[in-house]
Amino acid sequence: MTAANLKEKPVRDLARMAKQHGVAGWHSMRKDQLIRALVRKAKLHRSPQAGEVRQLEKTRDREAAAKAARDAAITQRIEEARARLLRVKSLATPPEGGKPRQAVRDRMVVMVRGPHWLHAFWEVSPRSIARAEAALGQDWHAARPVLRLLQLENGLQGSPSERVVRTIEVHGGVKNWFVDIREPMRCRLEIGYLTAAGRLHALARSNAVSTPAGIPADTLDAHWADIAADCEKIYAMSGGFSPENNSTELQELFEERLRRPMGPPAARTTCADGEDQDRVSDFQLEVDAEMIVYGATQPGSYVTLQGEPVKVQPDGTFRVRVDLPNKRQVLPIIASTADGVERQTVVLAVERNTKSMEPLGRDAGDF
């Protein structure tokens, strides 16, 4: 609706249109006044539509920004997943104990650890991994890091031939691997990347070793020889000292294999000439306990424990040693700001229940 179009209409039609559009005072207006009023009405009618268009544009902009943020987050997660897969896939030797990475040469060594175990150790440089990726091309993405166990056999002319016995999938971040051997053999190991088509890109090959013949008992004894060096810790982690462990099989097995009692030294009774000798024991055990209460608050605050002031460090932390008698205690810890305006209380309820068990004696013949 424009002024030029309205000028072509008679006053009667303009008055009817003004009435339809709710123009106030239309009945007393002249033609030019009716035209100006109708044009203003048309502009007011179109302005909400323009506002809707602007709102729609803002909504589209927000949706585009949200989509861009989602795409960026997805891209970041994909890159992180790729980095994790690369760390798992890369056989490059990691540095030890936070030490700076040193140049390494590709090598692999195998040690015989018993009739049924080989210990493989390898070092691979990052440059060799890059060469493997370039050599495999498109096959690199599906290639898996593996160890291959090769059995050495004498051929017709006396030259040794190799037969693949087993392929073991490994992962990056390590440089040691134990391989179980099921029968005596002369063998070696090689490490590399195995493609989906079964082609191996070898990175390093080990020395040749021969595993000795043995029986299961020999292997078990070899394992127990390793366990003996740290038997107390292994026994504890296996539940040997747990009060919930009602079975005596674990203790019996450890004592049989290690040929000594597990746990604290057992009390023994001695006999002379077949007669029991009474023994008066002065063996005693006294136990006490303390508790450390620590926490953090706003630097410069005033802290009390059971009404006693506690030293607060410049960073707001505090740490205090508290006696732990054999009873229930309620310890209020109160912290106040330096100006005393704010205050907060934490109540710590602690109970100590000490029980002395009856002495337990064991005969030396039990072991």
The more confidently predicted of residues 313 and 11 is 313
Pairwise CA distance, residues 4 & 2, whole Å: 5
Q: Which two tokens stand for residue 243?
A: 């009060």
Taking residues 342-347, report their average pLDDT: 93
Asked which of 30-44, 67-81, 255-269 is least confident by mean pLDDT, the reply is: 255-269
Which CATH number does 290-351 carry? Answer: 2.60.40.10
Which CATH number does 107-214 carry? Answer: 2.60.40.10
Pairwise CA distance, residues 348 & 350, whole Å: 6
Task: Using the predicted structure, report yes or no on whether residue 346 has a pLDDT greater than 90.
Answer: yes
Q: Which of 202, 208, 111, 192 has the alpha carbon at shortest distance from 160?
A: 208
Residues 159-178 pLDDT 10s: 568 899 999 999 888 889 99
User: What pLDDT was estimated at residue 157?
Assistant: 46
DSSP secondary structure string for all residues of 272-328: ETTEE-------------EEEEEEE--TT-EEEETTEEE-B-TTSEEEEEEE--SSE
Looking at mean pLDDT, say which of 53-62, 256-265, 308-317 comes out highest.
308-317
- Indicate the domain borders of the chain: 3-68, 107-214, 217-258, 290-351
Task: Using the predicted structure, report yes or no on whether residue 234 has a pLDDT greater than 50.
Answer: yes
Q: Are 92 and 124 in contact (CB under 8 A)?
A: yes
Q: Which of 251, 254, 246 has the alpha carbon at shortest distance from 223?
A: 254
Please determine whether the domains at 107-214 and 290-351 fall in the same fold group of CATH: yes
Q: How many of the other CB atoms lie within 10 Å of CB of 224? A: 15
User: What pLDDT was estimated at residue 269?
Assistant: 45
Task: Using the predicted structure, report yes or no on whether residue 239 has a pLDDT greater than 90.
Answer: no
Q: Which two tokens stand for residue 106?
A: 């590709």
User: What pLDDT was estimated at residue 98?
Assistant: 54
Q: Are 124 and 90 in contact (CB under 8 A)?
A: no
